Amino acid sequence: MLSFSILGALQIRTATGFAEISGDLQRNLIQTLLVSEGRPISGESLVEEMWGDSVPDKQANALQAHISRLRRKLKSLEPDLAVSRVTIHPSGYRLTIHEGEFDAAEFTKSVRQAEAAGAADAAGTAELLGRALALWRGPVFGDFPGGTICQLACARYEEYRMRAMELRFEAELRLGHHAAMLAELHEAHSNHPLRERFCEQLMVALYRSGRQADALNVYRAMRRHLSDELGIDPSPALRHVEHAILAHDPALTGGARTLLQPA
């Protein structure tokens, strides 16, 4: 059994260690097949992804040569496997990935599970998403983002990561872990200064930690940043948190849940 990881530099783990995929074209090929998550992808799309504007002569032959090379590589890693993982279909080429073998698929599944659970099980959500976020070793594909398909996949998985962070912070705040989350919330807000949900959560955590002035300063800085960068005002949700802090709304201390509803 193999496992494929792209939440960081591409890794293929075998029973005896990690396998090396040599050559940019081979890496681009397998990364594109991986982010298709078991769906066939056309030969034309693969050619464009691998070569961009520098399409080789006899592109079909060139692609087939790389497909054959990848098949041989994967076969060498699973010599007992009767059928190749890379198969051809009327709509293109497909890489067979079984459940539990692909870190990005497992990660997005966990985020969807957390979204479906809602606010009912804060402890379970915090644990689930803590494990899921631990799968990340760095940027998707590391320093080799590939072509358009892979770059779009990078953006998709990164958005799932932001959502997972928001949901985990929400669950931790519901559990009363505001002090323990302050450092991570500061980091998330600093790294993503236009993401208002992180700002809201940081303000709530600061207020609950007895730091009302700091919470309001975070809001004022966010308001200036939104105005300078985007020419917009804070969202109603963010303004609501500011008003609640100024009014010492009991909901902020966990007695009510209206300020902690998932976005």
pLDDT digits (tens, 9 = 90+) for 215-256: 999 999 999 999 999 999 999 999 999 999 999 998 888 643
Class for the domain spanning 176-263: mainly alpha
Instruction: List the domain boundaries for the chain.
Output: 3-95, 176-263
Average pLDDT over residues 200-214: 96
Banded model confidence at residue 258, pLDDT cuts 50, 70, 90: very low
Determine if the pTM surpasses 0.85.
Answer: yes
Which of 255, 163, 169, 256 is CA-nearest to residue 205?
A: 169
Answer yes or no: is pLDDT of 184 > 60: yes
Mean pLDDT of the chain: 92
- Architecture per CATH, domain 3-95, reads as Orthogonal Bundle (1.10)
Q: What is the pLDDT of residue 56?
A: 78
Residue 145's pLDDT is 83
**What's the pLDDT tens digit per position in 50-78?**
998 887 778 889 999 999 999 999 999 99
The reported pLDDT for the residue numbered 253 is: 81
Instruction: Give the pLDDT confidence of 94-150 residue by residue, as tens digits.
Output: 999 999 999 999 999 999 999 998 778 999 999 999 999 999 999 999 988 889 999
> Given a cut of 50, is residue 257 above it in pLDDT?
no
Does the pLDDT value for residue 79 go beyond 70? yes
Between 22 and 132, the higher pLDDT residue = 132
